[in-house]
Chain A
């Protein structure tokens, strides 16, 4: 039967009802579902943080703090590593593991020190991360520690389908572990192998947990998410140096504010021979390598 034109409003009402239902569902989802850090209203964020702290305290049997310290205005972090000094001792690797609560088994290490041949120069096809001589430095070798390069034109953040990783105002590329779905696109996109995946439940001995954590940094991660160096966000946003900077026995690691003309980073850039890794990819790292000599 052909519908009389006067029944048209009925349809509209039905449409309206379904639209309203969809809108309501959408509203409920956005209001109650998980949110990225900066989309959350303060009270919800605080509640989420309290919940995390309670969960971690239960799991590790110690008081754990989860900070949400924001970027400092006027600060853009950068890093410089003196490859003429690094002796490849890997002190930085283990200081990083301890500071940032990386899984011991399966093993995750955000810093990888590559041993390279002095005759060949920086050549990734001929780099050895597994060197284990009695003593370092080894004759004829130099060392290039690699970690997240905190690219200004970061390929990893562009490919993330959920927006779980982004660049903060102070230049730190962060990951919200609550939003990471573990698709590992970012790992494929990263030309530096800086991102690491928790294939299994990470394990950290209870007495080795660093209880001072940051939401976007070293808080204990669940299985199935990606993680990486955050320039020690939990330390550097409070004025401290990253753990790797402090531990390096030869002082090869430098850190500071790129926007401060008096910072050591600027001194390095203005006075030393500086390079970035895989410059041709236009990733624009904020992690510089230099020759101090």
Chain B
């Protein structure tokens, strides 16, 4: 008898938790990939993909394989580019093109372990060095998101705001200063 009662209790707890979870899922407020309960948090690569607008390619540059195909041998030497892509100035640590771009399929980037990632998933690549920023970005705290505060959200890729080749923000012109009070009332 006693064990039956315990069993019923345990079942109730399990069902209760389950129902609560469904409830929470329904309210399903923000797009948060992982809850901050560190213990069972999945490794960052396995977290769900986030929805982003198309990557900000320069006009006519993609697909890269239009030029970088089997007819063009891969030159892996670190060098200054003189024929193509001369407009790209690389000011991003001590990087070199092929540290991020995949030499064997230029339509992709690659992670440090060689896994290919698409340009629309480039945040995983950036996140390999900038882990803290990546975490904040996933939580919606670094960078901008659009959508609704209690519903669906769209993220921006790192590259939408930071030029990956020169990630520092350029200064911009401020909007006009307010008019000091003495002059705000029309005469």
Contacts and interface: CB of A to CB of B under 8 A. Distances in A.
Contact of B29 (A240, A248, A260): A260
A248 B177 CA distance: 17
Interface stretch (B84-92, B112-120, B179-187): B179-187
Given A257-B150, A267-B141, A87 B29 contact: no
Contacts of A251: 142-145, 161
A105 B29 contact: no
Given A105-B186, A239-B151, A256-B149, A292 B140 contact: no
A131 B174 contact: yes
A288 to B, nearest CB: 12
Interface SS, A side? loop
A72 B150 CA distance: 11
Contacts of A272: 141
A155 interface: no
Interface string A93-112: 11000000000011101001
A292 B30 contact: no
A241 B178 contact: no
A249 B148 contact: no
SS of B interface (majority): loop
A250 B149 contact: no
A131 B177 contact: yes
A262 interface: yes
A130 B184 contact: no
Contact of A112 (B30, B145, B178): B178
A119 to B, nearest CB: 20
Interface string B35-76: 110000000000000000000000000000000000000000
Interface in A122-140: 129-137
Nearest to B140: A264
Contacts of B172: 87, 89, 135-136, 249
B2 interface: no
Interface in B130-187: 136, 139-151, 161, 169, 171-180, 184-186
Nearest to B147: A241
Interface residues of B, number: 34
Interface residues of A, number: 49
Nearest to A72: B150
Contacts of B35: 262
Interface in A214-238: 236
Contact of A134 (B30, B140, B173): B173
A285 interface: no
Contacts of B21: none
A263 interface: yes
A153 B173 CA distance: 37
14 contacts: A87-B171, A106-B186, A109-B178, A241-B147, A246-B146, A251-B143, A251-B144, A251-B145, A251-B161, A257-B29, A257-B149, A262-B32, A262-B35, A292-B142
Interface of A: 72, 75, 82, 87-91, 93-94, 105-107, 109, 112, 129-137, 199-200, 236, 239-241, 246, 248-251, 254-257, 260, 262-264, 267-268, 270-272, 292
Given A251-B145, A254-B140, 16 more contacts: A82-B141, A89-B174, A93-B175, A107-B184, A130-B177, A130-B178, A130-B180, A131-B177, A136-B174, A239-B151, A246-B144, A255-B149, A257-B149, A260-B30, A264-B140, A264-B141
The 6 closest A-B pairs by CB, nearest first: A239-B148, A251-B144, A90-B175, A135-B171, A264-B140, A106-B184
